[in-house]
Amino acid sequence: MSVAQLAGGRVPTFARRLAVRDPLLIAAGIVMAGILVMALFGPLLAPYDPNQLYVGPVSGPPSLAHWMGTDDLGRDILSRVLVGAGPSVFAPVAVVLASSLLGALIAIASAWFGGWVDGVSSRLIEVIFAIPGLVLAVLAVSMFGKGLIAPIVALSIAYIPIVSRLVRASARRELAKPYIAALRIQGVGSFAICFRHLVPALLPAVLAQSTVGFGYAMLDLAAISFLGLGAQPPASDWGVMIAAGQPSLLVGAPEQSMFPAALVVVTVLAVNILGARVTTWAEGGDR
């Protein structure tokens, strides 16, 4: 039997079983895959130049030539949405990667060394937590100017407490388990215990938190762009598009705002569903 036949026989059965047991998860997975394709290949898929003015009528409704219609400057909305997918998706990914990495590092150091290290880092986390993410981002923008970079850095810092509080608690629980003591007695070095045993045990929790965090980061960054402080026009970041389309709402042309808004909502919904499943899985692995 060939590999193809083997796979052909097994994968659909598995997929079918999963589809019956958890259709929501499958739907969320498909949506996320679609969003990811948009983010990666958006500029290649776009039928028009996203910044080319008057490729169609002003505020035109969806048509065969312009599937999502055209905006108040006659630009093709589908092309703008596709090209804007990259920054709209990868900026929150950057926030989540940076905050998870930093948060996990601080938390593990806290749990591992205890004492003053724990005291100082807990106080630091407390201070960061007291400054809302949006405020830190706005502060960063007023220091370094408009654009996506300052908000990404600010949110990466602002999200550290969410990760590190959770990871610190899990790490302390893990370190109190007998197998860690057993490894120590066997003479396994601290470095090996930390990176071969502790870190892998904490990964599911970090992954779960990162998935949920991606949704928050996407909403916060889109809000900052909506306020005009993030990505700058003519960039077609989804938050920018939503804000730019606001005047058209009142003349009965909601497409310009609604399509990017719908994409933000659908992405966050899908991520939340995935996040809930990952969290269940991570908690199951913890017991």
Which residues would be at the binding site for another protein (CB under 8 A)?
Answer: 123, 126-127, 129-132, 134-135, 138-139, 141-146, 169, 172-173, 215, 219, 222-223, 226-229, 239, 242-243, 245-246, 249-252, 254, 257-258, 261, 264-265, 268-269, 272-273
Least distance in angstroms from the C-beta of 254 to another protein? 5
Nearer to another protein, 1 or 130 (CB): 130
Closest CA relative to residue 91, chosen from 160, 147, 29, 165:
147
On whether the CB atoms of residues 78 and 49 are closer than 8 A, the answer is no
Least distance in angstroms from the C-beta of 171 to another protein? 11
Nearer to another protein, 6 or 139 (CB): 139
Q: How far is CA 34 from CA 3, 30, 219, in A?
A: 28, 6, 19
Structure tokens belonging to residue 225? 């762009």
Least distance in angstroms from the C-beta of 228 to another protein? 6
Tell me if residue 70 falls in helix, strand or coil.
Answer: strand
Nearer to another protein, 156 or 257 (CB): 257
Residue 145: phi and psi, rounded to 5, are 95, 165
Least distance in angstroms from the C-beta of 238 to another protein? 10
On whether the CB atoms of residues 85 and 39 are closer than 8 A, the answer is yes
On whether the CB atoms of residues 49 and 79 are closer than 8 A, the answer is yes
Least distance in angstroms from the C-beta of 128 to another protein? 8
**Integer Cα distance of 76 and 129 in angstroms:** 41
Residue 17, exposed/middle/buried by CB under 10 A (0-12, 13-18, 19+)? exposed
Least distance in angstroms from the C-beta of 165 to another protein? 10
Nearer to another protein, 47 or 145 (CB): 145
Amino acid (1-letter code) at residue 195: F
Nearer to another protein, 53 or 120 (CB): 120
Nearer to another protein, 78 or 223 (CB): 223
